[in-house]
Amino acid sequence: MRYVRFLPANGLLLGITLLVNGSAFAGDFTVKAATVIEMKAVYGQVESRTIVPARARISGTITEVRVTEGQVVKKGDVVATVVDDKIALQLRAADAKIGALNSQMENAKTDLQRAQDLLAKGAATQSRVDAAQTQFDVITSQLAAAIAEKAVTQQSAKEGDTLAPADGRVLTVPVTAGSVIMAGETVARIASGQYYLRLSLPERHATEITEGAQVDIAERGIGVEGGFIKARQGRIAKVYPEIENGRVIADVEVADIGSFFVNERTLVSIPVAKRTVLGVPPQAVSTVHGIDYVTVDAADGPLGVAVVLGERYQDGGQPRVEVLTGLAEGDKVVLP
């Protein structure tokens, strides 16, 4: 049996003694300085890499809207249908014109055949045959042009369907059925890119923010007052070189960000500084009457030293508790 005195950091005797069995100590731990990364919880805003508009290709009246906010669409899906009543009239006019030209072409073909027959009998001149051939060729070209014009009108009718330009989620639909819209106006906005988090940090952290650094993302809906609960991990993909209004802008990539809303804010814990600390294993600390003690291997045997503790951290995968005062680097701590 031996007695160990517990002394505060200033060396004054507390008058507290503990009866310690000599076999109660498992070994020594040498106090060494370690570098830890300080984390700061900030709000990050969910953004989409690209937001593309689905635009009307023709002017007219919207007869049907097929999507709503939040709906997931694929590239080429019909977002809305725009109808221009003039297109139907243009198609009927094109059909009538084609019919008239078909009749003229039949007459020109008959005249050409008659002129060729008379020329063979010697009752007509070559100039008459040439004139009939020219008339037939002109009407044939006019018919081809009328058919092409009808195809253009038919294509315009098909372009009444407003298509999704890319895969994504519909953010807004600023139109309703019955609205009059012009060609080029936006029918819906679609978030088509991968979601990421945009951070806005104070300028004092500019030198500590580096691309590739790992960050922690909190559970959705958790505020600062609720404590930080890690849900997933990401990395800083880009740090913008321009400081805006005293803020550093950085983007965080997350492999599976979940079902966040665009522009939703969530807590992100980011590394902002490094500091050197002294720490011991948590089991090396004992508490007596509300005061924390660490047993140090002194020249005359184990000695209890009062310490002030800080935060817990990991050193090489091992848990440590920071010691603010009471120990110096190189001290040998006796582990129970």
How many contiguous H segments (helices) and E segments (strands) does the chain have?
A: 2, 22
The pLDDT value given to residue 162:
93
Please provide the DSSP assignment of 118-135 as one string: HHHHTSS-HHHHHHHHHH
Query: Looking at the predicted structure, is the pLDDT value of residue 201 above 80?
Result: yes
The pLDDT value given to residue 224:
52
For the whole model, what pTM was predicted?
A: 0.53
The arrangement of strands across the sheet holding 161-163 comes to: 161-163, 78-83, 60-65, 180-181
Mean pLDDT of 56-64: 92
Q: Which residue has the higher pLDDT, 303 or 223?
A: 303
Mean pLDDT rounded to a whole number for the chain? 84
Mean pLDDT of 258-284: 84
Cβ(61)–Cβ(36) below 8 Å: no
The pLDDT value given to residue 10:
41
Helix, strand, coil % over all residues of the chain, rounded to 5: 25, 45, 30
- Tell me the residue length of the chain: 336
The pLDDT value given to residue 38:
81
Query: Looking at the predicted structure, is the pLDDT value of residue 258 above 80?
Result: no
Q: What is the pLDDT of residues 77-114, one digit of tens each?
A: 999 999 998 888 888 999 999 999 999 999 999 989 98
Span of 51-65, 198-212, 249-263 with lowest mean pLDDT = 249-263
Alpha-carbon distance 72 to 192, whole Å?
A: 10
Alpha-carbon distance 115 to 126, whole Å?
A: 9
Q: What is the pLDDT of residues 62-75, one digit of tens each?
A: 999 999 988 889 99
Query: Looking at the predicted structure, is the pLDDT value of residue 171 above 80?
Result: yes
The phi and psi torsions of 163 (rounded to 5 degrees) equal -105, 150
Cβ(335)–Cβ(27) below 8 Å: yes
Alpha-carbon distance 277 to 35, whole Å?
A: 6
Query: Looking at the predicted structure, is the pLDDT value of residue 311 above 90?
Result: no
- Indicate the residue type of 60: G
Greatest mean pLDDT range, 8-17, 39-48, 91-100, 249-258: 91-100
What are the structural domains of the chain?
A: 2-30+281-335 (2.40.420), 40-49+194-271 (2.40.30.170), 53-80+163-190 (2.40.50.100), 85-159 (1.10.287)
The pLDDT value given to residue 257:
74
The pLDDT value given to residue 20:
38
3-state secondary structure of 109: helix
143 HSE (CA, 13 A, CB side): 16
Mean pLDDT of 188-194: 87
